[in-house]
Amino acid sequence: MGSLLPADFARNREAIAYLAIGAALSAAYFVVPASPNMQHVIYEAVGVSAVAAIWRGNLRHRSGPAWTAMLIGIALWVGGDSFWNAYRWITGNEAPFPSGADVFYLLAYLPLLLAIALLVRGGRPRVSDLVDASIVGLAAGLVVWFAAIAPSAAAHHSSALTGAITVIYPTMDYLLLLGVVQLAFVGGLRNTALRWATAAFATVLVTDIIYARMRVDASFTATSYVNIGYFAFYVLLGAAALSPAVREPIESAKSPYGRLTLGRMALLTGALLATPATLGFDASRSPRDVRALALIGALIAVLVLTRMALLFVERDELDVARREAQQALKQIAYHDGLTQLANRRSLYEAIAEAIAAGGGGTALLFVDLDGFKAVNDEHGHVAGDAVLAEVAGRLRRAVRGEDLVARHGGDEFVVLLRALPPDQAGELAVQAADRVGAALADPIDTPMAQFSITASIGIALHPRDGTSPDQLIRVADDRMYQSKRSARAA
């Protein structure tokens, strides 16, 4: 789960300060055993401080509906504490079980469950996350059932209501457990605030199981050290609300693939072993318990098979994503971002391949736009980019499909004419240059203005003018400048 204390102390200083204050109050509770009333005041103070911390965190960080529900749930929980403490102060006796306090406690589960559901939904869980969490949750449910629910159901109770409430508590805890496991599996443990919140709920779940067993054994007292778990619940949730990390979406820290880590494999393996281990520890279980264990074991097995199937699906998705990423990188590496033409790297490789292939003539047209600098200077780069994009399209339409049009840089373009008949290469290159010049002769309309663009074109032939990409481009570039000077002189 990682450290409960964040690495960035400065960023979380208010949350850490609250943790320290809450820990001090919790320790003080056990330092004053001779004054039960003072203990109840301290207990109440810890709970109220958690409500205040969550309220302040919600106002400061605008934490959203999940933390609003969390605030309502903790306020109800503290309301149960207040009822219990008030009953003792007024009557001098412990509150009976069940009492009005239990109404508050049971109602508190509803907004708390809603809060966790909203956080899980915000994490945009994949199906595999939900399956993993369900497997672990079912296995953990074995512990909750046999440690708390079953003994509570089997114990003698003074009334049906008492028995029902005794069973409802661990049942609601189990629902919380399922939610917390889901939250952990969708990436919540990578978020500082949600790490603290998950630790808070994990602590209170364990504490409630211990409390339920103590209720059955009639060994619970107000000064029991089990209260440490409830203090931790309050303080950790308050600190979580105060952390700026509550504003961070879970999915921002979540990798879409590769979730079947060693940690998950260990959890899933433990889940598979939970059913036989539960049977092995106590061979004298009733037929009803054995049937329940068999059903849970079957559900876990089905979910594990489902998870394996999803693993193959995710692997296929990863392969597709990898191919798409490679294609995107290739597009970036070999194409110009503005015009989507081949870039200089792609051009040089294509020329080298054409030369190496042989069997036909190869020619280059070096195209430079005349007066393009004035477009940028007078109308801005947006207009210039629009002109370049239109020029690229016209160049592609002016040549054959097997020819390559590339942006050499700035307002310079190169057309690679491939597989020309060797004895007609020069003539065909001149014809292609004429088509390019004609294609650029028409005015170019842009949202900013209309532009008339001309071009100077230089031609180089292989092997007459060079036997390498550098030589051919240099010759074509020189001839383009000769053409430009000739046009100016005329």
pLDDT for 310 equals: 77
228 and 309 inside one domain? yes
The pTM of this model reads: 0.55
Residue 393: CB atoms within 10 A of its CB come to 15
The parts of the chain modelled with pLDDT lower than 70 are 1-10, 33-36, 123-125, 143-159, 163, 187-189, 212-213, 215-224, 249-264, 267, 275, 277-286, 288-289, 331, 359, 489-490
356 and 314 inside one domain? no
The residue among 289, 321, 353 that closes a domain is 321
312 and 451 inside one domain? no
Phi, psi of 441 (to 5 degrees): -75, -30
> How many alpha carbons lie under 13 Å from residue 381 in its C-beta half-sphere?
2
Residue 404: CB atoms within 10 A of its CB come to 20
Look at residue 159 and tell me if it is in a domain: yes
Long-range contacts of 467-472, Cβ-Cβ distance < 8 Å, separation of 24 or more: 467/355, 468/352, 468/355, 469/347, 469/348, 469/351, 469/352, 469/355, 472/351, 472/362, 472/364
pLDDT for 84 equals: 84
205 and 349 inside one domain? no
Number of domains in the chain: 2
Look at residue 367 and tell me if it is in a domain: yes
The residue among 288, 321, 354 that closes a domain is 321
Phi, psi of 454 (to 5 degrees): -120, 170
44 and 128 inside one domain? yes
Q: Which residues contact 319 (CB under 8 A, 6 or more apart)?
A: none
46 and 119 inside one domain? yes
Look at residue 449 and tell me if it is in a domain: yes
pLDDT for 449 equals: 84
103 and 26 inside one domain? yes
Look at residue 272 and tell me if it is in a domain: yes
415 and 482 inside one domain? yes
267 and 209 inside one domain? yes
Look at residue 437 and tell me if it is in a domain: yes
313 and 351 inside one domain? no
Helix pair 227-242, 192-217: axis angle to 10 deg: 160
The CA distance from 161 to 164, in Å, is 5
Amino acid of residue 90: I
pLDDT for 433 equals: 94
CATH number of the domain at 354, please. 3.30.70.270
Look at residue 277 and tell me if it is in a domain: yes
Look at residue 339 and tell me if it is in a domain: no
The residue among 286, 321, 356 that closes a domain is 321
308 and 398 inside one domain? no
251 and 352 inside one domain? no
Look at residue 338 and tell me if it is in a domain: no
Domain containing 223: what range?
Answer: 13-321
The CA distance from 479 to 484, in Å, is 9
